[in-house]
Structure 1
Amino acid sequence: MIRRGDVVIADLSPVVGHERGGRRPVLVLSAAPYNTWPIGMVIIAPITSTDRGLRHHVAIGKEAGLRGSSFVMPEYVRAISQRRLADRPLGVATPQTLQEVQRWISDFTTDLS
C-alpha cells in the first residue's frame, strides 16, 4: 500500500504547459486512507535533482532512497493515477521533510489579500 511520505518513481508524462513530466521520483502527500479509495488516485509532489536555488524547493536525500541530493517541488503538487507509480517505494521522507513541504503548500494556497 502507498503511504504518505513514500518516495516512488512515477511516469508523469504526458504534460501540458510547464508541468513537470517524465519518469521521476515523487513524494506521496496524500494519507493512506485516501490512497485506498476506489478512484485509485494519489496526491504527489515531483522531485528534481537540479538545485535551482529556490527557497521553496525542499531538500530530500539518500534517507528517502534517492541516489543523491534532490529537491521536492511543492509548487507542482498534483493528483495522479496510482497506475503511474512503480510497484515499490524507493524510500520514505523524514517527518521534517513532509512538514516543510506541507508548509509551503499551505503558503501557496493561503489568500494573502
Structure 2
Amino acid sequence: MDIKRGELYYADLSPVVGSEQGGVRPVLVVQNDIGNKYSPTIIAAAVTSKINKAKLPTHIELPSASYGLAKDSVILLEQIRTLDKRRLKERIGELPENTMRRVDGALLISLGCKVN
C-alpha cells in the first residue's frame, strides 16, 4: 500500500479508551512520506461527522462534496495517533495543498510548537 501524507482513508480505530475516537471512520495521514514508506505504522488524525465540533483552532472542516466523504466532517488535529497500517481500509481521497497548509497550522497549535 503506497500511503501519502494528506490522504484520507477509512481506518478501524477500535478498541479505544475514554474520549478517543473509535470505530471505522475516516482518518487523515499526517506523517511524512518517508515514514509512510518505511515504517509499519503511520500517524493519522481522526475525522468526525459531528460538525458542531468545529469550534477549536485544531479543527478543520471538510465539506463532503469536496472530499468524497459521506457527510460534512471535521478533522480533529488534537486527536492524532500512531496506527498500524493494517488498520487502514479503503482510500477515500487526498486533500489539496491549501487545506494541508491549514492542517499544518492546526498541528502546530495542537503540539504547542512555536514558530519564529
Tell me what 1:44 maps to.
44
Question: Displacement of 1:108 after TM fit?
Answer: 2.2
Q: Deviations over 1:54-102 (max 9, x none)?
A: 133201133322123111000001110000001x411111222222122
Question: Displacement of 1:53 after TM fit?
Answer: 4.0
Tell me what 2:6 maps to.
5
In the superposition, relative to structure 1, how do residues 111 and 63 fare at CA in structure 2: closer, same or farther (>3 Å)? closer
Tell me what 1:82 maps to.
85
Question: Displacement of 1:111 after TM fit?
Answer: 6.4
TM-score by length of 1: 0.87
Report how many residues are paired. Answer: 110
Tell me what 2:105 maps to.
103
Q: Which letter maps to 2:102?
A: E
Q: Which letter maps to 1:28?
A: V
How far apart in 1 are the matches of 2:72 and 2:18? 26
Show structure 2 runs of 5+ residues with no match. none
Cα root mean square deviation, aligned: 1.6
TM-score by length of 2: 0.85
Show structure 1 runs of 5+ residues with no match. none
